[in-house]
Amino acid sequence: MDKRRLGKSNLEVSAIGLGCMGLSYGYGPATDRQDAISLIRSAQERGVTFFDTAEAYGPGVNEEVVGEALASVRDQVVIATKFGFKNGVPADGLDSRPERIRQVADEALKRLRTDRIDLFYQHRVDPNVPIEEVAGAVKDLIAAGKVLHFGLSEAGPDAIRRAHAVQPVTALQSEYSMWWREPETEVLPLLDELGIGFVPFAPLGKGFLTGKVDQNTTFADSDFRSAVPRFSPEAIKANQALVVLVTEIAAAKGATPAQIALAWLLAQQPWIVPIPGTTKLHRLEENLGGADIQLSAADLDRIERMLASIQVTGDRYPTSHQQFVNR
């Protein structure tokens, strides 16, 4: 698979990474541990060198799975993890105090079976801790050799600038896809200006852009989409026009809707690296095929015109999840 460099840094990764969250957290019951390890190893064997996890996915469980899966190929891969929640539990609120950051780093190193974290993200901006203190704490970890690169997740322009002034930010990870384009307004231009890479999570719209979700789809209580307004039956029905668009483009290209959604992201900037997640080998292979789809300028213009005519319905988070909204 082709490689991409995250911004102006020296961090080079596969054009498509693997978001590992769904193997342990968020989308229903956790995948059997050995099956999850097998999937991660299959991704690495197929050219993926960029793996994303977090303390909050489990908590800790996902890091353990990723660590075990990649231990034998550790020097061939880039592992990203995150800090920022009390006790590693999102429902407990935010905690990015420097002493907590140091604790999370040490615990993550053990779970990941490694001596360094390649990319250490603040999972969400903590309004109770100045971003300069957060950046300073990670800067100290970099100086100690425990962390190689600093990242932010769902941060707004002000937080990005302030953090970057203390410790250069290598990558921002935020939601971005055909059905959530908010980063294009202010964030992407800023990243281009500062030389920061962009790692879109939920690049397939949390599964919606695959075309496998319709108004009759039901989600288990343990699947966070069950509480997301954008996944209500009414919103799903209203947003089907987007699926129709992606499906039409896919048919013309001999591809799948998921592959078109990923190819569109890759075409936006050479420093964008999406991290789709899956629990199934055939979906992994399908997603990786998105890196082989070439969209011409005419294709992109057509997609842009069609996207402009579609009004996406529904909030991406319920009101109870405001800590997940960028600051």
Give the 3-state secondary structure of residue 215. Answer: coil
Report H helices in the chain. 33-45, 61-70, 98-111, 131-143, 157-166, 187-194, 233-238, 240-253, 257-268, 281-288, 297-308
Q: Is 317 a catalytic residue?
A: no
How many Cα atoms within 13 Å fall on the side-chain side of residue 46?
Answer: 21
* Spatial separation of the C-alpha atoms in residues 248 and 148, rounded to whole Å: 42
* Distance from chain centroid for Cα 248: 26
* Spatial separation of the C-alpha atoms in residues 151 and 53, rounded to whole Å: 13
* Spatial separation of the C-alpha atoms in residues 177 and 194, rounded to whole Å: 22
Give the 3-state secondary structure of residue 218. Answer: coil
- Beta carbons of 197 and 6 less than 8 angstroms apart: yes
Q: Which of 57, 121, 176, 317 is catalytic?
A: 57
In order, the DSSP letters of 311-322 are ---S-SS-GGGG
- Residues annotated as part of the active site: 57
